[in-house]
Amino acid sequence: MFKKLTKELLDKFFSGDIITASRLMTRLENGDPSVWPIMREISLHTGKAYVVGITGPPGAGKSTITDKLIQLFRKNQYTLGVICVDPSSPFTGGAFLGDRIRMTQAIGDEGVFVRSLANRGELGGLAPRAKEIVQILDAFGKDVIIIETVGAGQVEADIINIADTTVVVTVPGLGDRMQALKAGIMEIADLFVINKADRQGAQDAVRDINMMLDWLPEGRWRPQVLLATANLNQGMQEVYDAILAHRDKLIKTDKWRERRYERNRSHCFAITEQAVISYIHQKTEEVAELKELIAKVCEGEVDPYSGAEKLIQKLFASADILKLS
Amino acid sequence: MFKKLTKELLDKFFSGDIITASRLMTRLENGDPSVWPIMREISLHTGKAYVVGITGPPGAGKSTITDKLIQLFRKNQYTLGVICVDPSSPFTGGAFLGDRIRMTQAIGDEGVFVRSLANRGELGGLAPRAKEIVQILDAFGKDVIIIETVGAGQVEADIINIADTTVVVTVPGLGDRMQALKAGIMEIADLFVINKADRQGAQDAVRDINMMLDWLPEGRWRPQVLLATANLNQGMQEVYDAILAHRDKLIKTDKWRERRYERNRSHCFAITEQAVISYIHQKTEEVAELKELIAKVCEGEVDPYSGAEKLIQKLFASADILKLS
């Protein structure tokens, strides 16, 4: 019975049924483990899609750039999946939703599948979920998947790890903050776009970034630094061309395969960790002995370290962390 | 031998040796499990400190407010621990460090212990680490611990969970974004401070927040909404008084105990999860069979779901997830 349902669902999915794909994403977001056998089948059909990450500080205009890129990819007959990630809610939640409304011009086009991922405080975080949605969109046959992250923290860095090409968007006049770019962003950027280039200081920003890039180790891909004013549609063709140029370079240098390896690896660890964490929480709610232990930790009768030790001893003495049918 | 060293270290710690406390924090940050027996002892001496969380969107002036609060607490003979958390690097790292330099007036005062926590991409994230540092500062005898988080994402929400009193700092003119505050912030705020109150729109901000607060469920503590201009030292005495008023209220209503319960609980889970995740990564590097499995997952020969399943079967069949001496 279960096998039959799975087969039906997979047939629908691979025939391109959008509702089936959406429901699958929702079940994954809800942490429903019954989708694992389905995801296992789906993951056998992945590795073809080209994944572009768009990141940068709040207010840099990432959504507008994403919008324009969608139009350019569509003009060139690519089908698209778009994932909008907002790990920084509650504070930026409002602005984010506003931005999304602008993107509605993309909705209604069957070649574009848009999915938002907001943080609802789940265990395990957004990065594993984003990876799963990439897998689904990839197997669903989308040629290009754009992941846009609002904000710029560790979560975004984890997510952007999935991308083949990472575009870092910034704006003129970030001043001091540019210094900070040095730290983490130099390693992940494949292309810099200075948006709102009609503002004062655009040339200074180009120079600043180029100066930082001079510190890159030899042999490393040197990201281009482009100027754009996305809301006036200026410079976007150049951004698009630079993205595709990076893809071509990737494919030639075997980096393409390397990134797929890393994607599989981190996906496997994410699933494993998620399962184990869920198991820990579930058991401490179900098993009376563990419930009592946690109560004693809360009361301060047992210190958190001894509590953790006992918890681990009790939980992992047997091998039933998860039982899949 | 080990026991003797532990005892010596603990003696030094409880006699107030700052270097011992700092080293302990560093060992925890490095994920050194040999500190567990020490932390176990230390955690028996916690629960006395009063923890104040300062959070809010970037640019709201949280550091200046923290600075002024440090001065007021010191004036009233409280000893202080200050934890500055920056989960949103790389992008805001630079500004953050700049802010910290201003705080140097607090350094040099033996009654204030300042510790910065920046994200270095570790497994498990910043929240467990912040909890451990709170425990150390608490056992070290600090009366008040201020946790300041730069940025406003999920990580910060997890960290702010530790606080007895949470101060949300905002500024006039955030416009649309105020809407977003509704979502997550209403539940965590015990006090609102509208900083930079000399700017236009301060009264509008007070009104907006008060309107939102009208939606709070009955019986819930209604946060005060205060105006301040921290860099001119205006309104800070009122903020300080409101923080202490909230503490008094907490103690009277048993919430004090409730928050300590929750702190112990989440600390215990954090340690457990951290240990299990480290175990997973360590074993897959050490055990040839698991290394091969991961290699196959990378190559795409085994899908990530089957990989995760096998990993869990192999790892958790035996009970040696961690062995403490």
> DSSP readout, A264-292?
HHHHHHHHHHHHHHHHHHHHHHH-HHHHH
The 8-class DSSP code of residue A34 comes to G
> Could you tell me the pLDDT band of residue B94, with boundaries at 50, 70 and 90?
very low
User: Would the pLDDT of A131 be above 50?
Assistant: yes
List, in sequence order, every residue forming a beta bridge with A57; answer none if it has no partner.
none
* Strand, coil or helix: A111: coil
Q: Which residues of B touch A277 (CB under 8 A)?
A: 273, 276
Q: Which of A89, A182, A260 sits opposite B180 (nearest CB)?
A: A89
Gap from B314 CA to chain A (nearest CA, Å):
9
8 Å CB contact between A198 and A83: no
User: Considering the entire predicted model, what is its pTM?
Assistant: 0.74
Q: What is the pLDDT of residues B126-143, one digit of tens each?
A: 777 788 899 999 999 999
Which of A120-134, B55-69, B273-287 has the least mean pLDDT? A120-134
Mean pLDDT of A113-142: 78
More confident residue, A248 or A220: A248
The CA distance from B177 to A93, in Å, is 7
Residues sharing a CB contact under 8 Å with residue A251, sequence separation 6 or more, in sequence order: none
The two structure tokens encoding residue A239: 């951004």
Strands B112-118 and B144-149: unpaired
Best to test chain B binding among A136, A305, A311 (most B CBs inside 10 Å): A305
Closest CA to B60 of B184, B234, B186, B231: B231
More confident residue, B277 or A137: A137
The complex scores an ipTM of: 0.76
pLDDT of residue A185: 66
Q: Please list the residues that pair with A82 across neighbouring strands.
A: A114, A146
Task: Write out chain B residues lying below 8 Å of A298, CB-based.
Answer: 261-262, 264-265
**C-alpha to C-alpha distance for A146 and A54, rounded to whole angstroms:** 7
- HEC string of B180-234 equals HHHHHHHHHCCEEEECCCCCCCHHHHHHHHHHHHCCCCCCCCCCEEEECEHHHCE
Task: List Cβ neighbours of B233 (8 Å cut-off, separation of 6 or more).
Answer: B68
Separation between Cα atoms, residue A134 and residue A267, nearest integer Å: 11
Q: What is the dihedral of CA B231, B235, B241, B244, to 10 degrees?
A: -40
Give A324's pLDDT tier (boundaries 50, 70, 90): very low
Cβ–Cβ under 8 Å, residues B228 and B191: no
A323, HSE (Cβ side, Cα atoms, 13 Å): 3
pLDDT surpassing 50 at residue B101:
no
Per-residue confidence (pLDDT) for residue B55, from 0 to 100 = 85
- Testing the interface with A: which of B176, B303, B313, B314 to mutate, by most A Cβ within 10 A? B303
Residues of chain A found within 8 Å of residue B56, distances taken between Cβ atoms: 91
Q: What's residue B272's pLDDT?
A: 87
Please report which helix (H) or strand (E) contains residue B291, including its range: helix B288-299
| A79-127 pLDDT, tens digit each | 999 988 765 544 433 334 444 444 545 556 778 888 887 655 444 567 7
**Most confidently modeled of A96-100, B71-75, B219-223?**
B71-75
Lowest-pLDDT choice from A86-90, B235-239, B286-290: A86-90
pLDDT digits (tens, 9 = 90+) for A280-293: 888 898 899 999 99
The listed CATH number (3.40.1390.10, 3.40.50.2000, 3.40.50.300, 3.90.1150.10) that belongs to domain A48-253: 3.40.50.300
Residues of A in Cβ contact (< 8 Å) with B183: 89-90, 93
Nearest to B162 by CA among B119, B115, B116, B130: B130
- How far from chain centre, in Å, is Cα B28? 14
Distance to chain B for A178, nearest Cα, Å = 8
Confidence at residue A322, expressed as pLDDT on a 0 to 100 scale: 40
More reliable by pLDDT, B51 or B319: B51
pLDDT of residue B105 exceeding 60: no
Beta strands A144-149 and A80-86: pairing type? parallel
How many angstroms separate the CA atoms of B115 and B82, rounded?
A: 6
Q: Where are the domains of chain B?
A: 1-44, 48-253, 267-315
Higher local confidence (pLDDT), B186 or B235: B235
